[in-house]
Each structure stands twice: as C-alpha cells, then as structure tokens.
C-alpha cells in the first residue's frame, strides 16, 4: 500500500476543522481522483501527504513512512520520489523553463546530457519546447501550469500528486495533460489528482473519492480493466 490514512483529522487554529476522521488507502499503480467543491479539504489532504502540514490526529503513511513522525530530512528524501503539481505552480522565476523542469532529475543525480534530453522531450510533449529558454514570468497562467506538469512528470516518480492540474487549461490541453498522466500511470506511477473537473472525471471513469466539508462521502471504485 503506497498511501494509507487512518483516522486522520486536521484542525486549524483556533477551532477550524479541515479534515474529519479520514480513512483512505491507495495501492501502488492506482489512479485516483479526489473530488469535491472548493473548501472540501482536497488541498489540505495533499499537504498532509506531502508532509508540508501535519495531521492533528491519526496516521498518514506515504511510501512506507509515517509522515506525522518523519523528520524534515526524511520528508525531503520521500519527496524525491514524488512528482508534485501545485495549484499555484511554484516555478522558480529566475530559472528558465528548461531549468525548472530539470530540477527533479538534478536531485536524482541524472547525467547532464540525459537531463537536457528528457526535459526538452517533456516540454515538447506539452507544446513548450520553443520556449525552453524563456522565464516563467513571460508565460500565461496556462503555460506555467504546463511547465509545472512537465516538472512533475519528467522524473518518472513513484507517486504523483496533482492539485487542480487543468484549472488554467482549455479542454484540448486538459485532454493532453490527462493523457500524459494516464501514460505515466500505465508505466507504473501512482497518480492522485485533486480536481473539480467533473466532466473529465466522468469521462475517464476511474476511482473517485468525494470529499465534503472534510469528510469522505463517497469512494467509487472502477472495476479493474474497465475505462
């Protein structure tokens, strides 16, 4: 089991509950949507899985590590195995698109030639190769979103978390992005996507966990082999 949550609660000061008694299990190779309206707790859940927030109670285990007890060093090591698409992109403004996408490969000590080849190929897949040497502030929001997705996928992580990965994209580009996520999943990457793109969720017809006011109110599992 690659992700396991047992009785997880998150309360922000002074008394603001964000997640309530969550029990969730994700197996290696799964593709799962976390759905729900704005404020349902999707982003908070991803923060707990990344270790950027700690649960108020309960156990959050990711890649075999209890994130509530892990040290900052241990969390940093776990994150090297995780691809992340943040809702606010978090691109480094003073680095080119190529340099931004290359970061996960540099952290894993890939050879320089391989880093450039793989990073350019990923930018190409998302229609941004011609802008590889431009800087994030020169891009539109949708283009920055695509760079963030390229960065998350380039290292072929064990686990990928995406927070509204198509929020700034049109229907055509959203489809391209989800095809890339599906390809990564087919290659063995476990994918967790927080999204309110109901049309795409319904079209892909994959396992969907529905949050409402911090509680899981539905967990719809698509039979294996059916898409």
* Confidence bin at 196 (pLDDT 50/70/90): confident
pLDDT 10s digits, 123-161: 999 999 999 999 999 999 889 989 999 999 999 899 999
Please report whether residue 44 resides in a domain.
yes
**Residue 191 contacts residue 184 (beta carbons within 8 Å):** yes
One-letter-per-residue 3-state SS of 12-62: ECCCEEEEEEEEEEECCCCEEEEECCCCCCHHHHHHHHHCCCCCCEEEEEE
Name beta bridge partners: 85: 162
Mean pLDDT of 19-38: 95
Task: Write the CB contacts of 148 (distance below 8 Å, at least 6 apart in sequence).
Answer: 85, 86, 89, 90, 91, 165
- Distance in angstroms (rounded) separating the CA atoms of residues 223 and 157: 25
The answer to the question of residue 4 being in a domain is no
Q: What is the CATH number of the domain that holds 102?
A: 3.40.50.300
Which pLDDT score, from 0 to 100, does residue 227 have? Answer: 46
- Reply yes or no on whether the pLDDT at 93 is more than 70: yes
Q: CB of 142 within 8 A of CB of 168?
A: yes
Sheet holding 65-66, edge to edge: 16-26, 3-12, 57-62, 65-66
Q: Tell me whether residue 225 is in a domain.
A: no
Residue 135 domain flag: yes
60 within a domain of the structure (yes/no): no
Q: Are 222 and 56 in contact (CB under 8 A)?
A: no
pLDDT recorded at residue 226: 44
Domain that holds residue 35: 29-52+72-220
Mean residue pLDDT of the chain comes to 92
Q: Structurally, how many domains does the chain consist of? A: 1
Q: How far apart, in whole angstroms, are the C-alpha atoms of residue 213 and residue 28?
A: 27
Report pLDDT for 173: 86
CA-to-CA separations, 138 to 102, 132, 183, in angstroms, rounded: 19, 12, 29
Nearest Cα residue to 63 out of 133, 158, 197, 186: 158
The encoded tokens of residue 129 equal 């190769």
Summarised one tens digit per residue, pLDDT across range 113-127 is 999 999 999 999 999
Average pLDDT of the residues in 91-119: 95
1 pLDDT above the threshold of 80: yes
216 CB-near residues (< 8 Å, 6+ apart) = 22, 23, 24, 209, 210
Bond from prior residue into 77 cis (ω within 30 degrees of 0): no
More confident residue, 99 or 1: 99
- pLDDT of 31 strictly over 90: yes
Determine the average pLDDT of the residues in 42-49.
Answer: 94
Report if residue 104 sits inside a domain: yes
* The pLDDT value given to residue 222: 63
Q: Is the pTM of this model over 0.85?
A: yes
- Indicate if the pLDDT at residue 78 is higher than 60: yes
Residue 13 lies in a domain: no
pLDDT band at 82 (very low <50, low <70, confident <90, very high): very high
Would 119 be classed as within a structural domain?
yes
What are the tens digits of pLDDT across the range 182-194?
A: 999 999 999 999 9
Task: Give pLDDT, residue 57.
Answer: 96
């Amino acid at each position: 089991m690659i992700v396991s949550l047992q009785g997880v609660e998150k309360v922000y000061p002074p008394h603001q509950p964000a997640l309530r008694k969550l029990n969730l299990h994700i197996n290696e190779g799964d593709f799962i949507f976390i759905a729900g309206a704005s404020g349902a707790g999707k982003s908070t859940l991803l923060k707990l899985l990344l270790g950027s927030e700690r649960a108020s109670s309960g156990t959050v285990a990711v890649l075999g590590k209890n994130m509530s007890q892990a040290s900052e060093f241990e969390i940093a090591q776990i994150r090297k195995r995780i691809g992340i698409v943040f809702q606010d992109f978090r691109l480094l403004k003073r680095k080119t698109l190529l340099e931004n996408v290359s970061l996960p490969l540099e952290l894993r000590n890939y050879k320089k030639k391989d880093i450039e080849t793989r990073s350019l190929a990923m930018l190409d897949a998302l229609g941004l190769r011609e802008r590889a040497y431009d800087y994030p502030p020169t891009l539109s929001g949708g283009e920055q979103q695509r760079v963030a997705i390229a960065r998350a996928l380039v290292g072929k992580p064990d686990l990928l978390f995406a927070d509204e990965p198509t929020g700034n994209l049109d229907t055509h580009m959203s489809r391209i992005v989800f095809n890339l996520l599906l390809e990564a999943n087919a290659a063995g990457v476990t994918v967790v996507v927080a999204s309110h793109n109901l049309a795409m969720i319904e079209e892909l017809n994959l396992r969907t966990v529905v949050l409402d006011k911090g509680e899981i109110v539905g967990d719809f599992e698509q039979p294996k082999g059916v898409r």
